[in-house]
Structure 1
């Protein structure tokens, strides 16, 4: 193996855009591979259910353009995981077509592209269900039923590193690998293992962080470089405005994970309890060591989603304070009225935005709604009837009789198409980690007319607004004042809000059925004080989120990141009808308002 392997990730999700100047600075400086993730369940079940892409095709074309230029001029290999979003087999020819178009248009050389399929036949799931060997992937996932398999539009299996390694060993002259549904760090771990890294803990820990690009930096950014060695790896953001710190890198294993210390994947568990994080003298690079990969009986995660009826959405505003004061009762009566009106199955959910807990009431609130029925026409009819109710129904003490709802968008009622829902998210034991993932080699013919010398960077590629950090850098004292002013009303005398002591309070999906919440602290003193005060406990989580004890899957402290984490069962799976926060990214707010004794 080489002494070092340099892996470059321009963006945490293919199609989201990156800075081309930073891209070429990295590639021209020499990297051993460009590796990028392209899939997730975060954006809901529609990709699996109806075959929609995560982003528009043009966004993939834009992001892949420089990738293929690097492959042509520098012969930099490219690995893509979970192609198209869901990793379904139909994505692979679609991406082959995109690659062919770019190669032909730009006069590049011919390229060898490997595809790895990940769809499985439903018969395997039926057989596993019959044997009783299929288990839910997490404590929030219901047991699998035959009807769930029947309803799934397709099933994909999440592959580990083994199919990628097999593909590279069989075709060492490859240029590009387009992988189906993959465990997020699998392509990264595979490339390291293929290049001779024997410590799977190093390979998988690096992949777990790098698959999100430079999200582990502060402020969070996009382009990231990993330098991997036999016993460690270094992480650096490429944006000059960002840097990695030992806390920001250690804290990244909190992100969208049910717990940060033990991460389970196909064939093994990544143990980060003894991992270490060292800030290097350049002030922006962190060296990581100590992760341990422990083999386990091999299971793959099956994912499936179904179409369950159709939806229509609408929105409007309410400014009348008399109606705002009784909006919940008004909307519930409307929902009951509508369900009694129709002789076909239907449902209606309201979402109210901008409410206050008491006077003075909000000057305006937003009322969003979504209707469900078995056909699109029926869903449209329910939405149309909802408009009539919202606009003209009476309510106690009403003074305004001209109408109740301001309508900013017409026509009222926008058809959303099929309602898609997750129905399979389960683990299947297998014997051979490569048997279910066929590998095929393709030659993309290219005219090879452009030459082998990279062109000078064009003016259009010298910068990109997307290269700016996603989080603005703010002076800490100014930030503290912003937080204090935003959290109203103020806390009781002698107390401060938890948000005032934290460097980060966030929530996020950790799969379609869980929501996980993280609190990181600005100082070791604040971490120790809040931990000692017993503010963040399992009991407090139950109280604040009004859940049962069995719904609290994790409640723990994570010292390497000066952090606390809790993971809860979601009331509804991500993207289900009536679910109001698909990414679960706004569920952290109650934690911000927890009161902590001042001066602890």
Structure 2
């Protein structure tokens, strides 16, 4: 069986890549250029707001290299989770960039668009039929949870990509997609082993992060054979080692050997890693086991209000030693001051230098910090309430008279003026569930670029 080569230019579209690495990858004559364009990692805001967490100019820069190379070398391009979160607005945004490049560079490429945003009424019906299950630790959802979500996407597997390949696409631009599927669909369609293709795709979706030293903005080449795949970074200053590749195979897993996805599970229990030379690693034995029931993951987000923050610091050891008690007293004073006004808000303090990263999970108790960074974080239904609570909290803490305080000029140092920063809309994940009893290909709208209609699908 002829080897199938996939070039992954970057970990996420818009993260960039060195031109030399990309060109070296193209010299290897890849059969596919593929890239993951998004992630759920940046949180619910981007899905809920319909905005990309990557910059438009940066995405356009990466795509221009990829599309020009696709035309010159007659190599297909596959893109998943367009626009960051993969909703209809994100897909529209990414399609606009592609159209712009095709026009500016006078490129004639056949583009197929796959929409992953799902209709709310369809999902309400599926919920009533018992076809939506929680994906732990999520709880059961209601009709209201579906209707209040601004955007809901389904994480597609390889099947919609199969249809686009059959249509003869030069470029596939897809909404929210299972990361490995973007890379694995083409070779699986040609008969390559699904387990190896999926495992290679799982690594390639992060490009050269699996190399040493690792980087998300550098190209990686994957070469898939009949019973193996080989990984090689395209930057000569990086190397793949058995340790770096095996370690990255643990990425984003609750179980080091098992990775569930649409239609099945990637099983790495019998996977082996072999060092071929000082820069390449060969991987064997990965398996893909079909599920008894085909499911896809649903992701949805809804608006919960507005956020205002204030950033401050303290270097007073007396205050630092009492910081937990001071914060609780300040919260009580805020609550007391507005208890008659019907104010509804959430007030949190993030204490950097103590437990600002891990919160209650922080294993180091009573760290010996000489200074603390404080973020006062207020979320309320309206900007006015968020501003009010943040302002009052900040001033109360600034002048709070804690025990043994020496100076009365103020307890906090502020790096910015104004000290209160309105951070805008706040979203939370409302849907993190599994959808079953579906057609994994027909569920997702797939069409030629010329037939693709932009706009909010739920309107």
Instruction: Establish whether residue 210 from structure 1 lines up as the match of residue 204 from structure 2.
Output: yes
Match of 1:24 in 2: 23
1:353/1:366 contact within 8 Å kept: yes
Which deviates the most, 411-420 or 237-246? Answer: 237-246
Matched, 1:190 2:188: no
1:346 matched residue in structure 2: 345
Relative to the length of structure 1, the TM-score reads 0.70
State yes or no: 1:129 paired with 2:127: yes
Structure 1 residues 431 and 317: CA distance shift in structure 2, 3 A: closer
Give the equivalent residue in structure 2 for 1:495: none
Indicate if the aligned counterparts of 2:376 and 2:394 stay in contact, CA closer than 8 A.
Answer: no
Residues 241-273 of structure 1: CA distance to partner in whole angstroms, max 9, x if unpaired?
221122221221211211121111111111111
What are the Cα deviations for residues 150-197 of structure 1, in whole angstroms up to 9, with x where unaligned?
A: 221121111100110111112x2x221101110111121111123332
Three-state SS of the structure 2 residue aligned to 1:240 is coil
- Determine which of 140, 144, 160 is the counterpart of 1:143: 140
Q: Is the 8 A contact 1:318 1:365 kept in 2?
A: yes
Relative to structure 1, the CA distance from residue 443 to residue 71 in structure 2 (aligned partners, 3 Å threshold; closer, same or farther) is farther
Query: What is the distance in 2 between the residues matched to 1:132 and 1:443?
Result: 37
**Is this contact kept in 2: 1:314–1:413, CA < 8 A?**
yes
Alignment of 1:262-341 (within 5 A): 262-280=258-276, 282-296=277-291, 297-341=293-337
CA contact (8 A) 2:232 2:239 kept: yes
The answer for the alignment partner of 1:13 in structure 2 is 12
Give the equivalent residue in structure 2 for 1:96. Answer: 95
* TM superposition shift of 1:99: 1.7
Counterparts of residues 412-423 of structure 1 (less than 5 Å): 412-423=419-430
1:45 aligns with 2:41: no
Mapped to 1, the partners of 2:88 and 2:379 lie a distance apart of 30
Which residue does the alignment assign to 2:454?
A: none
Deviations along 1:453-503, whole A, 9 cap, x unmatched? xxxxxxxxxxxxxxxxxxxxxxxxxxxxxxxxxxxxxxxxxxxxxxxxxxx
After TM superposition, the structure 1 stretch with the greater mean CA deviation from structure 2, 249-258 or 143-152, is 143-152
Give the Å deviation of 1:91. Answer: 2.6
The alignment partner of 2:449 has SS state of strand
For the residue of structure 2 that corresponds to 1:384, the secondary structure is helix
Instruction: Tell me if the contact between 1:165 and 1:193 (Cα under 8 Å) persists in the aligned partners.
Output: no
Residue 155 of structure 1 pairs with residue 152 of structure 2: yes
Q: CA deviation at 1:358?
A: 5.6
Range with greater deviation from structure 2 (175-184 or 124-133): 124-133
Mapped contact 1:304–1:425 kept (Cα < 8 A): yes
Cα deviation for residue 37 of structure 1 reads: 0.3
Does residue 378 (structure 1) correspond to residue 385 (structure 2)? The answer is: yes
Show the 5 A alignment for 1:442-457. Answer: 442=449
TM-fit CA distance, 1:441: 0.8
Q: How does 1:395-474 map to 2 (within 5 A)?
A: 395-442=402-449
Superposed CA offset, 1:526-573 (max 9, x none): xxxxxxxxxxxxxxxxxxxxxxxxxxxxxxxxxxxxxxxxxxxxxxxx
Number of residue-to-residue matches in the alignment: 436
Residue pair 1:10, 1:224 contacting (<8 A) in 2 also: yes
Map of 1:508 onto structure 2: none
Q: Aligned equivalents of 1:381 and 1:298: distance in 2?
A: 49
Partner of 1:394: 401
Per the normalisation by structure 2, the TM-score is 0.91
Question: Structure 2 residue aligned with 1:165, among 162, 180, 197?
Answer: 162
* 2:179 alignment partner, SS class: coil
Q: Which residue does 2:360 correspond to in 1?
A: none
1:302 and 1:7 map into 2 onto residues whose CA distance is: 28
Matches within 5 A, 1:492-531: none
**Alignment gaps of 5+ in structure 1:** 445-600
Q: Hey, what's the Cα distance between the residues in 2 that align with 1:167 and 1:362?
A: 56
- Closer/same/farther in 2, CA of residues 357 and 293 from structure 1, 3 Å limit: closer
